[in-house]
Structure formats: structure tokens, C-alpha cells
């Protein structure tokens, strides 16, 4: 196996790539790779590791020796999958690595929004508590999660992890059917059509991939169906929610708040409707929900196992 990693810095400098190096018999590493440098850097390699670098038909045509692409993430939208199939290139990806860290981040967003944590912190720093006429400062409505309903759209590994943690806060769980997905019952939870789910939930958390069917799954119409104090959480993929519609809804008080770890463009070099400074009760984090060291190291270990399996290598 002759392997190259095109954007190793995306996993951070604190992870140990030894498991992959051991399987591959060495590994050529680049911190990052510009689009114009991809072909030159993968030529002569049969195995390419990428996180966000885009690989297209043109790359496959220029590098006929390429046999395996190992994506060190779950989503493979950066790979021309149809072309890979035509050229007999196997695509490997990583799943079930971030249950704990993503679920933790999701709950952190829910808790921060429900308690108006950032608003009260800002009030203290702006001197409002110091001038209060009583021992405490109130003014931002606090949502108690016990007895509230959490709707989860995307009940895979991450959605299941969020459900487990939400139950510990006394929340009731309902599942939402993605477009094209059948309603029913899963793990004892009802899975409802979105139109039936949305009016019932106090918190809606998204954990599904971005596809043609799920793009802008939550728009102005869907936001208008939710409770006025409902919270919307997206730690999954940018594009699941129509961002301008959400910005407008938050300004107008259509829903109570939102917490997002993902945007349609990452990084948002060309701006984004959700980055305006006049949107109330909105928290944006920089696609960091997955990024605990433990989760990133699991990515390396799962990638190594995937490569070993693809190469027919068995542990002695």
C-alpha cells in the first residue's frame, strides 16, 4: 500500500497517526492541499486519505493507479462517487466515532439557549447585575427542560446519543421522519411526519446527512409550525435549514432560539445570514462539535481498521 494524506492538519496536530502508518507501511502527509496541487500529490499513490479535499473524475483519469480513497469523516460529498465507481475506486469513510462529543455539544447548545446563559453572562459583564435593585438579575425567560419534548430528526448513532442524554434531563423524545422516510416506531419512540412533529416539540435537533431530499428541510413554512419558544439545534450539516428564513424567524420571534455548529459555507468567507449581529438567542460554533481529541483519535483508529480490511490485512 502506498498512501498519502492530503489534509492531515484537519485532524489536528495532537492526534497519533501511527495506526494508519502501521497499516499503510508509511504515510506521506501534507497539512493541506490546494485544488491545483491535488493531481500532482496523488499521482503514483494507490491510497489517498482526505477529509475535505475534493476529488473528481479528472483526478481519477490522471491517476489510474488510485484504488482506495479513505475519507477521515462520515460525509463523502467531496468525492465524485459516480466517477469513483466507474474507475473501480473504493471509498471508505468513518462512522460512529463522535457519539459522545457531538451529543455533549448538542446538549451544551440546548442548555445554553434554554438557560439564556450567554445573555446573562453578557448582562453581568455589561454591569447590569452590579446595578440591580435585588440579589438576582432576571429578564431573559428560562426554559426548564424537565417534561419538555425533544424532537430528533436523524436517529442514527448521534441522534441516539442525544436521546440518551436528553432523557437524563427528563425530556420526552419524539422522532421525525426525514423526507421520504416512513413514519412508525423505533426503540419505543414514535417517528412522525415532520408536519405532525414540529408543532409538538420544544426543542428540535437535526442529525441527518445533507441530500437533495433534506436540503432546506426546515424553511419558513416549517419554522412557522413550531412553538414560539421552541429551540432549533443543528450539529449535523449546513443546508438542512434555510438560513435566511431562520434569521428572519428569530428576529420576528417566530421561534425562541437556535444553536448551530454548521453553516452552508465553511468557513463562511462570504458572510452568512446567521452571522448578523442583531439576531436574538442564536449561538453559532465553528463546526467544532466533533473535535474532541478522543473523537479525532477514534477517526484515525477506524480509518486504520478500514484500510486493513480493504487490503485484506488481519491482525496476528
Quick one: pLDDT at residue 316?
A: 42
Quick one: pLDDT at residue 77?
A: 87
Strand partners, 47: 3, 68
- Which residues, in sequence order, are CB contacts of 208 under 8 Å at separation 6+? 153, 154, 156, 178, 214, 217, 236, 237, 240
Q: Is 266 a catalytic residue?
A: yes
Cα of 119 vs its chain's centroid, Å: 25
Q: How far apart are CA 109 and CA 116, in angstroms?
A: 10
Q: Is 287 a catalytic residue?
A: yes
The helix or strand, by DSSP H or E, that contains position 149, with its residue range, turns out to be strand 149-153
Quick one: pLDDT at residue 315?
A: 52
Quick one: pLDDT at residue 75?
A: 85
Quick one: pLDDT at residue 301?
A: 97
Quick one: pLDDT at residue 142?
A: 97
Q: How far apart are CA 214 and CA 37, in angstroms?
A: 33
- Decide the pairing of beta strands 3-5 and 28-29: parallel
pTM of the full structure: 0.91
Question: Could you write out the DSSP letters of every residue in 37-87?
Answer: GHHHHHTT-SEEEESS--B-HHHHHH-TT--EEEESSS--TTB-HHHHHHT
Quick one: pLDDT at residue 312?
A: 82
Catalytic choice (43, 140, 165, 287):
287
Q: How far apart are CA 236 and CA 153, in angstroms?
A: 10
Of 1, 24, 15, 19, the closest CA to residue 301 belongs to 19
Catalytic choice (167, 266, 293, 294):
266
Coil vs helix vs strand at 120: helix
Q: Is 164 a catalytic residue?
A: no
Buried b (16+ CB within 10 A) or exposed e, 132-142: eeeeeeeeeee
Q: What is the mean pLDDT of each run of 10 residues along the chain (316 residues)?
A: 96 96 95 97 97 97 96 92 96 94 98 97 96 95 98 96 98 95 94 97 95 96 98 97 98 98 96 96 97 96 95 64
Q: How far apart are CA 130 and CA 148, in angstroms?
A: 33
Catalytic choice (105, 237, 242, 296):
237
Strand partners, 74: none
Amino acid at each position: 500500500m502506498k498512501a498519502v494524506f492530503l489534509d492531515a492538519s484537519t485532524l489536528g496536530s495532537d492526534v497519533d497517526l501511527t495506526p494508519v502508518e502501521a497499516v499503510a507501511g508509511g504515510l506521506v502527509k501534507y497539512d493541506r492541499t490546494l485544488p491545483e496541487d491535488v493531481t500532482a500529490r496523488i499521482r503514483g499513490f494507490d491510497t489517498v486519505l482526505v477529509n475535505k479535499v475534493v476529488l473528481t473524475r479528472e483526478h481519477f483519469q490522471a491517476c489510474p493507479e488510485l484504488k482506495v480513497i479513505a475519507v477521515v469523516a462520515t460525509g463523502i460529498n467531496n468525492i465524485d462517487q459516480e466517477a469513483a465507481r466507474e474507475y473501480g475506486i473504493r471509498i471508505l469513510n468513518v462512522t460512529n466515532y463522535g457519539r459522545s462529543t457531538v451529543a455533549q455539544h448538542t446538549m451544551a447548545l440546548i442548555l445554553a439557549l434554554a438557560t439564556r446563559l450567554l445573555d446573562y453572562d453578557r448582562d453581568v459583564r455589561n454591569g447590569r447585575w452590579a446595578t440591580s435593585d435585588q440579589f438576582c438579575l432576571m429578564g431573559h425567560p428560562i426554559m426548564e427542560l424537565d417534561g419538555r419534548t425533544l424532537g430528533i430528526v436523524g436517529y442514527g448513532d448521534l441522534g441516539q446519543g442525544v436521546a440518551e442524554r436528553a432523557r437524563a434531563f427528563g425530556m420526552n423524545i419524539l422522532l421525525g421522519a426525514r423526507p421520504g422516510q416512513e413514519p412508525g416506531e423505533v426503540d419505543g419512540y414514535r417517528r412522525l411526519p415532520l408536519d405532525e412533529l414540529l408543532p409538538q416539540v420544544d426543542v428540535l435537533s437535526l442529525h441527518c446527512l445533507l441530500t437533495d431530499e433534506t436540503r432546506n428541510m426546515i424553511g419558513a413554512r416549517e419554522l412557522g409550525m413550531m412553538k414560539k419558544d421552541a429551540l432549533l439545534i443543528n450539529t449535523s450539516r449546513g443546508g438542512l435549514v434555510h438560513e435566511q428564513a431562520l434569521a428572519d424567524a428569530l428576529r420576528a420571534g417566530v421561534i425562541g432560539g437556535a444553536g448551530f455548529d454548521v453553516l452552508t459555507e465553511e468557513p463562511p468567507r462570504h458572510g452568512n445570514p446567521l452571522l448578523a449581529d442583531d439576531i436574538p438567542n442564536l449561538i453559532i460554533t465553528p463546526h467544532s462539535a466533533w473535535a474532541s481529541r478522543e473523537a479525532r483519535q477514534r477517526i484515525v483508529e477506524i480509518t486504520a481498521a478500514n484500510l486493513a480490511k480493504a487490503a485484506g490485512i488481519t491482525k496476528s
